[in-house]
Amino acid sequence: MQKFITMGEGYHEIFELQALIEYNHERVKHAIFLYNDKSPATFLLVMQPVEQDVQAIYTVFNGIVYNEGQGKKYQLIKSWCEDKNLSIVEFSTKSPEDFYEQEQFYQYLTGILRLNHLVIPMT
């Protein structure tokens, strides 16, 4: 079971994300940038599953300016991941604006992440 934990929209929580990467990098399974043409990028930090296959996915939701690999927050996060040898996956998705609720967007993302074997399969 995946649990999305929305940290915010990229302002003060960027430093909380830095601490997560710095002190919990051994637990990180994937670092993922999701971008689209309509809104700022979303960053996901997928953690290794814990008891009973619970998997946390920390999210900076629509809070990162992404312009073909440019943007200060994007560069900061990328450098933090590189410092801890975390590979970064990047791909284009539908915009969260295409969904009525944020939870629907997360359900859509869960499907994409499962299809790409980035999160554990449903049990």
Predicted confidence (pLDDT) per residue in 29-40, tens digit: 999 999 988 888
20 Rama sector, left if φ>0, alpha if ψ -120 to 50, beta otherwise: alpha
More confident residue, 21 or 66: 21
Confidence of residue 10 (pLDDT cuts 50, 70, 90): low
Is pLDDT of 12 > 80?
A: no
Distance in angstroms (rounded) separating the CA atoms of residues 88 and 73:
14
- Residue 54: which H helix or E strand, with range? none
